[in-house]
Structures are given as structure tokens and as C-alpha cells.
Amino acid sequence: MNELVISDRVLAWFAHHGRRGLPWQVLRTAYRVWVSEIMLQQTQVQTVLRYFPPFVERFPNVTALARADLDEVLRLWSGLGYYARARNLHRTARILVNEYDGNLPLDHERLQCLPGIGRSTAGAILALASDQRHPILDGNVKRVLCRHQAIEGWPGHARVTKHLWQLADEYTPHQHSVAEYTQGIMDLGSMVCTRVRPRCGACPLRADCRAHAQARVNDFPEARPRRGLPLRRTTFVVVRRPDGCVLLERRPTVGVWGGLWSFPECSSEKDAKDWCLRRFGQRPAVSLRLPLKRHRFSHFHLEISPIVLDIAAPQRCVMEVDSVLWYKGGESKIGGLPAPVAGLLNGLLPNS
């Protein structure tokens, strides 16, 4: 089955069933395609639809994004997860303003040199924004190809990845409709060839899908080799003043929740009390021991023990330094918050 037959069937399916009218499709610019592709990394379309419109309304172009404070970028990204994506968007915007006159380079090699843009994302941006022929290999496309060819092995293995890139290149049309094919093959994986309960009866590639012929659709793609995720534990120290303000600290720009606002952390309740004594010169009263929270990251589980410590500190509710903030719900906007922190603030502070 040659690539023209494959691509023609994908294009015919897309013409009748593909997604159209998505915000980044209605007004298609390289900037908007880039933002959407970064948001769509490891995130479903329905989720991105809630975040994309307010993000591009506030940052309608590269220059607006580059001039913004990272805090504001992270605030609009809060809840979308994988915050390195937001930091990379911001970094890339500043590079584009300083080195490319505020324009995305429409060159595959140059795009891949920018933070957060790999081979597949660069290909998608160029295909969708300027109809350039570049294969893509996001999670949805990997699933379609693995099933169509019944490819054994986890797609993350180098041997399998190389094979998938070869197929992606073979199936991408050479002469026409690259943008439509690119969107179509992604939509096919997202809407029909889904991870669970795939709709094989609606698939334009069913006739020669090897996984379907072998009644092994659910065997592909193979899962990552299982390994137990380690469990880490921490204590969120929620320091509260008499006026209701709570202490937040900005996390380092690298690592978990990089650049976001969070509570100070200690290894235990005793360490938290000692930390308050050193920090504020007074031993706090433990007013609340909140239920344990479990948060899952891609590479570990985090078990959070939140405690609320009351101190008698008649300080004004202002930011003392760039990395410390006394915060009271509803008083002002704040930058990005990790989901567990936002949840605790909502429970502790009105109008957070």
C-alpha cells in the first residue's frame, strides 16, 4: 500500500469528519499555530480549548508575549500542567524578538533550535502554518502507525521510533494538501484510533490495518515497560497571619513547578515549626492539620501533608522581595499556582 493511497484516504476522511473551526484554525498564523501545538503537547484538545482563547487574547503576538512577565504567563497557564512548556514559550518569544524580528523562522532546523520545539512540533508548525512538507510523530500519530503496521515494541525505544519516523515520512503526501493531511492524521488518532475503545468501523485505514486484521488493536502501541513510580513526601507549610494572609514563595525556575508560587516545604511538622522560629522569631501555633493529598507527576508520586501555622506578625500584605509574597484571596492577581496549592488556597481563603 503506497503512501498516496494512505494519504488520500486520510484526506478524504478529514474532509468529512476532521476538526474544523478550532480557534487556531479560524485565524491561522504561525504564532497561533505554535502556541496551540505547545499547548497540545500531552494535552487533549478539549482542555486546550479552555486555555488557548484567553492566552492569545492577552498575548496576541510574539512581541506581547515577550514583553510580559513570566508570572502573568504562568498565571494564564495554571491548571494546564507541564509548566516547562509555558516557560519555554516565554523564552522563545524573547529570542524571536531579539533575533528574528518577532517572527517564527519558517525553517525546520532553526525551529528545532528554539526552546520547547522538537522535530515533530517543528514539522507540525511548518505543515499547518505554511503547508511545508514535514512528517510529524505526536502521540496520536504514533498510535495510528503502530496499529496500522502492527509494530511490536514500545514507541519510545530508538529502534521503534526510527521505524515510525520512516513510516510517517512515507505516508506524508509530496505534492498537495500537507496541512490537511497533517491535521487529518492527528485527528484520526484523537477521534477514531483512540487509546481505549477505538472506533475501527469508522477508520479509513481499517481495510489494511494489520492490528485490526489480527484482532489485536488493543495490543498496540505497546506500553512503556512498567516500573513503579517512587513516592516522595513533603509538608506544605501554610503560614497564616492574623489578617488572614498566607505566605507564598516562588519556586526556582527549574525543577518541579518551576517559577510557580507555592507554600514553603519542610520534611516534617517539627521542621516546619523550627523553620518558622528561625524565619519569624516566634514559635507558631498549629491551627489545622489538613488531609493528605496525593499528586501524580510523570516520574513520581508526591504525598503532601499540609499544616496551617498561625503566627502573630503584624506585617503589611505586600510582596517583600521578588520571591516572597503575603497573599490574601481576592486582593490581587497572582502568577501561576500548582493545582494542589490552588486547591488549598480555595479552601482557606475566600475569593482565591
Clarify whether 331 is annotated catalytic. Answer: no
* Nearest partner of 167 among 150, 191, 187, judged by Cα: 150
Quote the DSSP letter at residue 240: E
In 3-state terms, what secondary structure has residue 298?
A: coil
Q: Could you give the CA distance from residue 45 to residue 62 in angstroms, rounded to a whole number?
A: 22
Cβ contact 328:319 at 8 Å: no
Residues 37, 57, 152, 249: which is the catalytic one? Answer: 37
Cβ contact 164:145 at 8 Å: yes
What are the grid coordinates assigned to 108, written together? 525546520
In 3-state terms, what secondary structure has residue 194?
A: coil
Contacts of 75 (CB under 8 A, 6+ apart): 333, 334, 335, 336, 337
Cβ contact 142:165 at 8 Å: no
Q: Cα dist. 192→59, 189, 205, 311 in Å?
A: 33, 6, 11, 56
* Nearest partner of 51 among 82, 28, 79, 70, judged by Cα: 79
Cβ contact 31:62 at 8 Å: yes
Q: Could you give the CA distance from residue 348 to residue 350 in angstroms, rounded to a whole number?
A: 7
Helix (H) and strand (E) counts in the chain: 15, 8
- Quickly tell me which residue has 493529598 as its cell: 293
At what angle are helices 139-149 and 158-171 packed, to 10 degrees?
90
What are the grid coordinates assigned to 53, written together? 482563547
Q: Which amino acid does the sequence have at 294?
A: R
Active site residues: 37
